[in-house]
Structure 1
Amino acid sequence: MIPNEVLEYSVKVTLKEYSDMEMILLKGHLVLEQILYQFISAHQLDSKRVDAMNLMFSKTLELAMAIDANSIKEKYPHLKEIKRIRNKISHELFFDDYHQDLKKWASTVLGYTPKTINSKRT
């Protein structure tokens, strides 16, 4: 399992420093990737060999699923969707409509649609 310190540090220190939604999404994606690495490491795989694979987010997620699908399967579609949104922001010069995609994703993760999406809390 993921140590609470990693998640708390990521949210309290890393993400709360930013107010730009794109930066929060990009940094949040990196946080999720680090959490997946921690998950993989917790299953006692040879971390040097895993690092040598130079896995991107998608392959890291697939490796985590292969290791322990029961722990990941509920979160899997949410992680795939946030990767898709992040990739559009990173690779499309004019992808300005990400706010709608991000709001839909956040509402799905939360299980309801908030009246406003506050980046500091959501």
Structure 2
Amino acid sequence: MVEKELENLTSLRKIFMENNIDPLVEWAVWGHLDSKNDLELLLLKGHLLIEIILQTVLKRNNITESENYSFHRKIVALERITVVDNEENKRLIIQYLKSINRIRNKIAHDFHFDINNGEFEKWASDILNNLQGTKYTKYTYRTRLVHSFSILSKNILELTDEI
């Protein structure tokens, strides 16, 4: 099961990197995460998909050595990319990326971290309130989290449209 998930994620990464399918990415991220019911798994898979999106954007901007960067270092590299007419969106995206990375690190390194403490929900609400994206299903607690990853993915990719 885990090997199949890794194969699927590797395939998605290859597709994102080699093709210009930005309009489908938001839907693909939503579709991949929508079947996840466990919130910790949803966070970890969403974080991984966002990292693939970041890698794509960095490659598009000729930052080719970033494949081995940590998630944090990829955020720093994204911060250095000049975005014309979209700096406010970029600032918000960077903020949301740093927040989700902190939450992910808490799950990975803090045994007592409670995914239901409100941090993850606030992160998702901020994205849904401040970034543009498509709503694929009725919002529930879990689907708000799923949509936040898909909407963030779309908005990260759109930053490069302005370069």
Q: TM-score, normalised by structure 2?
A: 0.61
1:108 Cα deviation (Å)? 1.9
3-state SS in 2 of match to 1:94: coil
Structure 2 unaligned blocks of 5 or more? 1-19, 131-138, 146-163
Relative to structure 1, the CA distance from residue 31 to residue 97 in structure 2 (aligned partners, 3 Å threshold; closer, same or farther) is closer
Does the alignment pair 1:66 with 2:80? yes
Greater length-normalized contact order (CA 8 Å, ≥ 6 residues apart):
2
1:97 Cα deviation (Å)? 5.0
Whichever structure has more helix as a proportion of its residues is: 2
Contact 1:29 1:82 in 2 (8 A): yes
Q: What whole-Å deviation, never above 9, does each CA across 1:3-61 have from its counterpart, x for those lacking one? A: 1223321211x211210011001111111111111111222x153x332xx11111001
Q: TM-score, normalised by structure 1?
A: 0.79
**C-alpha RMSD over aligned residues:** 2.4
Does the alignment pair 1:89 with 2:79? no
Q: State the match for 2:37 in structure 1.
A: 19
Report runs of 4+ in structure 1 exceeding 4 Å deviation. none
Task: Using the aligned pairs only, state the percent identity.
Answer: 31
Question: How many aligned residue pairs are there?
Answer: 114
3-state SS in 1 of match to 2:82: helix
3-state SS in 2 of match to 1:24: helix
